[in-house]
Structure formats: C-alpha cells, structure tokens
Amino acid sequence: MKKQYIIIGIIIVVLLGFLLVPKYMDKGDRKVKYKVLESSEIPEKIKEILPKYLTEERALTCKLNDEIYVLVTRGEKNTGGYSVEIEKIVKEQKNKEQFDLIVYAKFKDPDVDDIVAQSFTYPYTIAKTDLKDMPENIKLEVEYED
C-alpha cells in the first residue's frame, strides 16, 4: 500500500515537471537569425542615417524595404583599435503581437601596448535580420573582451 502511494507521488511529480518546466524555461524567447554586413553590403539609405548615431553607444533597429537591420554603435573613441561584434540577438515576446530585442555585443578595446591610429574613430556593426516586424524596444547587453 505504501509502495503504491510512492509510485503515484513520483508519477505526479514527473507529470508536473513536464507541464511546468517548459513554461518557466522558454518565456517566448528565441534567437534571431542575422548576417553581419560588410561595408560594401550596407544599403545607401542606412549609410546616410548612420552618422546621426555614431557618437552614441547604443543598439537600434531600422526598417528598409521590408527588411529589419540592427545597428550597434560604440560612440566616439579617441584612437583606433576599438571594435564591436554582435554575439547574438534574442527576441523576447511580450504578447502575441509585440516583442523586444536584446542585442548581446562584445566590445574590444585596444591593449595599452597596441600601436593604433591617433584619430577619432566610431566603431559600429550592422546586421541584417530575418525579422518581419519592428520590435517595441531594443536593449544592448555588452560584454568587454580582454
């Protein structure tokens, strides 16, 4: 009799695990597919608006010809040797229609001993995504590389 209660208890725990764990683990998040563009691949319209944002450290989206682009800028730097790389882009579903984007970027600074250009630079990167709609908000998560 006691053995039956233990087996029933284990079955209930397993069933609850199958039902509840995916709900708390997923939260509607998913990785967004993207392609980082070379400077020759950047559309002219984006090249025209880019200077307006180069002095800021931020991530933003741009819709052009039904395609969504993500731009990550590092702001104005006093020398060369700075870079920015997109690690991943995650879509965070708010409700059925609305979502936010989280852009995970890696920032690299020049080493103290590096020989770099002595002029102002504005590091940035641009990615073309597979998104069909613009996000409500975009958040930049930065990791500094040594």
pLDDT digits (tens, 9 = 90+) for 93-126: 988 889 999 999 999 999 888 898 889 999 999 9
Query: pTM, whole model, 2 decimals?
Result: 0.77
pLDDT digits (tens, 9 = 90+) for 4-59: 777 777 887 776 676 665 555 555 569 999 999 999 999 999 999 999 999 999 99
Strand order through the sheet with 99-108: 29-31, 83-93, 99-108, 138-145
Going by their DSSP bridges, the two strands 138-145 and 99-108 should be labelled as parallel
CA–CA distance, 115 with 144 (Å, rounded to integer):
20
- pLDDT at res. 28: 55
Q: Write out the H or E segment, with its range, that includes residue 21.
A: helix 2-26
Beta strand segments in 16-137, E: 29-31, 34-36, 57-64, 67-74, 83-93, 99-108, 124-129
Task: Give the type of residue at 111.
Answer: D
